[in-house]
């Protein structure tokens, strides 16, 4: 029987549509040469640097405000979602940046846990600092890495060094979480953006105060994969489903032009964009890189593991998800299986974190219940 041409075209179209869902973003990637990593891990502090002074501003235990008593002037973004027990394929057998140890694919069992919906914001981090007197490592060292494109000409005049392999990174004196793009910048208007310039050690301190912990790399990837095997992004492999941006990365000719087609030249609010996962988590990929618990390694065995936590020791800590500075040509790491690393005392203007927890802290359970009731009450009033 002759198949009408219209059906042939229809099935061909269907086939192409399916293929593009899987491959869309892999087709034209140029992998960085000779292990050059595009600058993602170029912001590590060198071991010979003097460590920062002790945290002399820390409040005494009597003065410290615990997380369950701390009151914020901002709308909270510390809510968590429960990821149920399950298993998934971590890593991939089709690595796009093989030197990063993106492969092989291996089965991992994860015990159910709680995970922050949002990246930790400047407002949430400020609450921690105001409650504890905590001083970040960047403040102790007196500098941090900032992307050149966002540093004022005046500040740039005084900087002579750059990172050889990634010259767009400059060490800037006075850059820290309160001054994300140099000492002449501040947090005005960006309190709901992700906190930046926090080291791994700072992130751990925050999570402990909040009665949480950092997620493992496996937990990040379990959340990011969102029940799908070997897809690039939480929602599939098409970067722009229905032509809509789902994350904050870089568009243009990095690092010279930034067209901000996704709506954001730098970071975006942690609440921005449609949720990336079915459970509602936002900006897992893109916006700010996120520290995870694990020491960095690039060799993985293929056996099945349960709740892996990475190697016992190392020199670098792992980070996941890529940032607003990521673009395919320089840092194609806004993918669930992608990864990078820095020493645990490092900080930069594109690196933040979010926390996880085995148990939902009681104060957050209470707060979320109150928020739910307030939303229901508002909806009821609107109906009247």
Binding site for Ca ion (CB under 5 A): 248, 262, 264, 283, 287-288, 290, 321, 324
CB atoms near residue 247 (< 10 Å)? 26
Closest approach, Cβ 47 to Ca ion, in A, equals 27
> Which letter does DSSP use for residue 131 in this model?
H
Find the radius of gyration of the CA atoms of the chain: 22
Peptide bond into 255 cis (omega under 30): yes
- Asked if 349 and 145 count as a contact pair (C-beta separation under 8 A), the reply is yes
Closest approach, Cβ 107 to Ca ion, in A, equals 25
- Asked if 289 and 319 count as a contact pair (C-beta separation under 8 A), the reply is yes
Burial of 174 (0-12, 13-18, 19+ CB in 10 A): middle
In terms of CB distance, is 283 or 349 closer to Ca ion? 283
In terms of CB distance, is 132 or 216 closer to Ca ion? 216
**β-strand partners of 319:** 291, 340
Closest approach, Cβ 353 to Ca ion, in A, equals 9
Q: Which residues are within 8 A (CB) of 291 and not within 5 positions of it... i.e. 6 or more apart? A: 198, 200, 203, 214, 317, 318, 319, 351, 352, 353
Closest approach, Cβ 247 to Ca ion, in A, equals 8
In terms of CB distance, is 143 or 272 closer to Ca ion? 272
Closest approach, Cβ 196 to Ca ion, in A, equals 11
Give, in order, the Cα–Cα distances in Å from 297 to each of 97, 112, 262, 312: 14, 25, 33, 10
- Residue by residue, DSSP assigns 151-172 as S-HHHHHT----BTTBTTEEEE
Grouping H, G, I as helix, E, B as strand and the rest as coil, residue 236 is strand
Closest approach, Cβ 281 to Ca ion, in A, equals 10
In terms of CB distance, is 128 or 220 closer to Ca ion? 220
- Asked if 83 and 307 count as a contact pair (C-beta separation under 8 A), the reply is no
What is the SS3 string spanning 2-29? Answer: CCCHHHHHHHHHHHHHHHHHHHCCCCCC
In terms of CB distance, is 283 or 341 closer to Ca ion? 283
∠ Cα 58 62 64 (to 5°): 45
Closest approach, Cβ 128 to Ca ion, in A, equals 19
Closest approach, Cβ 354 to Ca ion, in A, equals 8
In terms of CB distance, is 117 or 140 closer to Ca ion? 117
**β-strand partners of 163:** 166
In terms of CB distance, is 88 or 324 closer to Ca ion? 324
Q: What end-to-end distance do the CA atoms of the chain give, in Å?
A: 63
CB atoms near residue 38 (< 10 Å)? 22
Closest approach, Cβ 119 to Ca ion, in A, equals 5
In terms of CB distance, is 139 or 290 closer to Ca ion? 290
In terms of CB distance, is 135 or 197 closer to Ca ion? 197
Closest approach, Cβ 1 to Ca ion, in A, equals 52
In terms of CB distance, is 59 or 274 closer to Ca ion? 274
- Asked if 159 and 172 count as a contact pair (C-beta separation under 8 A), the reply is yes
């Amino acid at each position: 029987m002759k198949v009408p041409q219209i059906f042939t075209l229809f099935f061909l179209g269907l086939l192409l549509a399916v293929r593009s869902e899987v491959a869309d973003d892999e087709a034209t990637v140029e992998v960085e040469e000779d292990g050059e990593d595009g600058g993602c891990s170029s912001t590590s502090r060198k071991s010979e640097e003097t460590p920062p002074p002790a945290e002399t501003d820390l409040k005494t235990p009597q003065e410290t405000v615990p997380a369950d008593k701390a009151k914020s002037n901002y709308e909270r973004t510390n809510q968590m979602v429960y990821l149920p027990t399950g298993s998934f394929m971590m890593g991939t057998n089709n690595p796009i940046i093989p030197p990063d140890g993106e492969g092989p694919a291996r089965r991992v069992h994860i015990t159910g846990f709680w995970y922050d919906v949002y990246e930790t914001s400047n407002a949430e981090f400020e609450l921690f600092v105001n409650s504890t007197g905590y001083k970040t490592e960047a403040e102790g060292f007196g500098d941090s890495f900032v992307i050149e494109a966002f540093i004022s000409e005046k500040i740039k005049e005084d900087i002579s060094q750059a990172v050889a392999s990634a010259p767009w990174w400059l060490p800037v004196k006075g850059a820290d979480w309160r001054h994300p793009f140099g000492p002449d910048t501040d947090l005005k208007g960006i309190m709901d953006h992700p906190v930046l310039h926090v080291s791994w050690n700072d992130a751990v301190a925050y999570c402990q105060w909040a009665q949480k912990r950092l997620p493992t790399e496996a937990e990040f990837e379990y959340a990011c994969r969102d029940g799908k095997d070997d897809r690039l992004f939480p929602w599939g492999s098409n970067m722009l489903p229905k032509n809509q941006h789902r994350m904050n990365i870089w568009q243009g000719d990095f690092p010279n032009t930034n067209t901000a087609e996704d709506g954001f030249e730098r970071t975006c609010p942690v609440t921005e964009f449609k949720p990336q996962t079915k459970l509602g988590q936002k900006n897992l990929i893109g916006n700010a890189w996120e520290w995870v618990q694990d020491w960095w390694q690039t060799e993985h065995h293929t056996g099945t593991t349960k709740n892996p936590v990475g190697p016992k020791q190392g020199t670098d800590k792992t980070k996941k998800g890529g940032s607003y500075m990521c673009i395919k040509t320089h840092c194609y790491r806004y993918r669930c299986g992608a990864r990078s690393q820095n020493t645990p005392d490092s900080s930069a203007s594109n690196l933040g974190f979010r926390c996880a927890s085995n148990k939902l802290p009681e104060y957050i359970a209470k707060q979320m219940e109150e928020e739910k009731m307030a939303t229901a009450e508002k909806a009821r009033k609107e109906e009247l």
